[in-house]
Amino acid sequence: MSGETVEESPGTGRGSAGEVFRAFLVLGSTSFGGPVTHLGYFREAFVVRRRWMTEEAYADLVALCQFLPGPASSQVGMAIGLRRAGYAGMAAAWVAFTLPSAVLLVAFALGVQAVGAEPGAGWLLGLKAAAVAVVAHAVVGMAGSLAAGKRQAAIAVVALVLVLLLPSALSQVAAILVGGVLGLFWLRATGSVENGADAGEVPVGRGTAVVCLAVFAALLVGLPVLAALTAGPAVGLADGFYRAGSLVFGGGHVVLPLLEAEVVGTGRVDHESFLAGYGAAQAVPGPLFTFSAYLGALTPVAGSPLLGAAIALTAIFLPSALLLVGTLPLWERLRTATRARGAVAGAGAAVVGILGAALYDPVFTQGVVSPATMAVASVAFVALAVWRTPAWAVVLGASAVGFLAL
């Protein structure tokens, strides 16, 4: 990554999709550490070094993307690309940031299919034990920020109980809705939202925004109907991943239970391969949502793993793009609505409960199958939480230990 800066004042420059692609390709190849870390990389690259936008404008975009469902860091990247080079820049930012990890995970999926994922293989046991540690660490971290208060914690527990007792994709959606409603009337949003200095510079007209929101809703409602009518594998795959991308607040690890319900619950992918891929996803840079490419590759369409990967990857990110473009012109009103922010806080607390339920089943029940795997998971958790070891290093280390000792 070069250290050049642009000459114009922050936030006023317009560039090309090519420069956006090059900048984000470097970030997609080197950004380990999850969504929060990605946002730090983006700030350093585009606010501090390149000066593509002001600090205030960047904070405004981050606030918007935290408000929306979907992968927050990828949405912020899309918004930066949109500001810099229009819709072509938005597409370039998404492709470049997503491509490296997607390619690696598809290659891993093809390798698993070639060599076979024996349930008792040591490397696979190590990967699944590492997944237990990674998800447990995510639950603890998210609970500290999204369910720290008594009321938020109560919402999280309600969501956890609901999903554990009624395990299905529908119960997970219901838990998020219940959390949002409780937050709307029960939680009081804290802090204030300041106006960004150049928050209005994103080039989206209201007509385009309305069309994007209409398309988002039409696909969310229409894809399940079309999948039921056609029974085609491509439409069914797109439907499942589009729904997962539409209903996840918080991004990152929160998508795990929805994806598990969509691919394992429907028999498309077995538990062993699902957890192996989830473990591998911790060892690659870029957004965790590229895990969808791995799952799509294990669900070939027309006999092609690459086509399955492309459909799954596009479908899970498409809601984020549509919602981002559709919401930008309305953000000035939404960002100051205290009750709306309370609803988002309630939904955030609910996803902590959903992820806690997923930690038990399938992650713990499938990942800890012996005292030895419990030991590996425990050491991996300490490495993450106490020693601050990067997730990718923990995953690779656990897999190596599993290969040698399990």
Chain segment 129-167, per-residue pLDDT in tens = 887 887 788 778 778 877 888 898 999 999 999 988 987
The dihedral formed by the CA atoms of 383, 385, 386 and 387, expressed in degrees to the nearest 10: 40
Q: Is residue 93 exposed (0-12), middle (13-18) or buried (19+ Cβ within 10 Å)? A: buried
Bridge partners, residue 304, by sequence: 301
| pLDDT in the model for residue 113 | 65
Match 């009518």 to its residue by tokens. 229
Asked if 201 and 83 count as a contact pair (C-beta separation under 8 A), the reply is yes
| pLDDT in the model for residue 350 | 83
Question: Which two tokens mark 372?
Answer: 């030895």
| pLDDT in the model for residue 147 | 84
How far CA 336 is from CA of 90, 100, 173, 287, 341, in Å, comes to: 26, 37, 26, 29, 8
Euclidean distance between the first and the last CA atom of the chain, given in angstroms as a whole number: 41
Question: Which two tokens mark 13?
Answer: 């420059």
| Alpha carbons 98 and 94: distance in angstroms, whole number | 6
Q: Provide, rounded to the nearest whole percent, the portion of the chain with pLDDT above 70.
A: 83
Question: Which two tokens mark 30?
Answer: 């080197």
| pLDDT in the model for residue 7 | 37
| Alpha carbons 310 and 136: distance in angstroms, whole number | 30
Match 């953000």 to its residue by tokens. 331
* Dihedral angle sign, alpha carbons of residues 389, 120, 274, 286: positive
| pLDDT in the model for residue 366 | 75
Closest by CA position to 275, among listed 258, 293, 295, 289: 295
Amino acid at 89: G
| Alpha carbons 366 and 364: distance in angstroms, whole number | 5
How far CA 22 is from CA of 44, 54, 114, 168, 202, in Å, comes to: 16, 21, 33, 41, 21
* Dihedral angle sign, alpha carbons of residues 379, 381, 386, 392: positive
Question: Which two tokens mark 129?
Answer: 């034990």
SS3 call for 301: strand
Tens-level pLDDT at each residue, the chain (406 residues): 444 434 344 444 478 899 999 999 988 887 765 676 677 678 878 887 888 887 767 766 776 776 678 887 899 899 999 989 999 999 999 999 999 999 999 998 888 766 555 555 677 788 778 878 877 887 787 788 778 888 989 999 999 999 889 876 667 778 878 888 898 888 865 444 444 444 445 577 888 999 999 999 999 999 999 988 887 788 989 998 998 888 776 556 667 777 887 888 778 888 878 888 887 887 777 888 899 999 999 888 878 899 999 999 999 999 999 999 998 887 766 656 667 778 777 877 887 887 788 788 777 887 888 899 999 999 999 998 899 887 778 878 888 898 888 7
SS3 call for 304: strand
pTM: predicted TM-score of the whole model, two decimal places = 0.70
Asked if 355 and 257 count as a contact pair (C-beta separation under 8 A), the reply is yes
Tens of pLDDT along 5-18? 343 444 444 788 99
Cα angle 158-159-161, degrees, rounded to a multiple of 5: 65
Residue 335 is given by DSSP the state: T
Tens of pLDDT along 255-272? 777 788 788 877 888 887
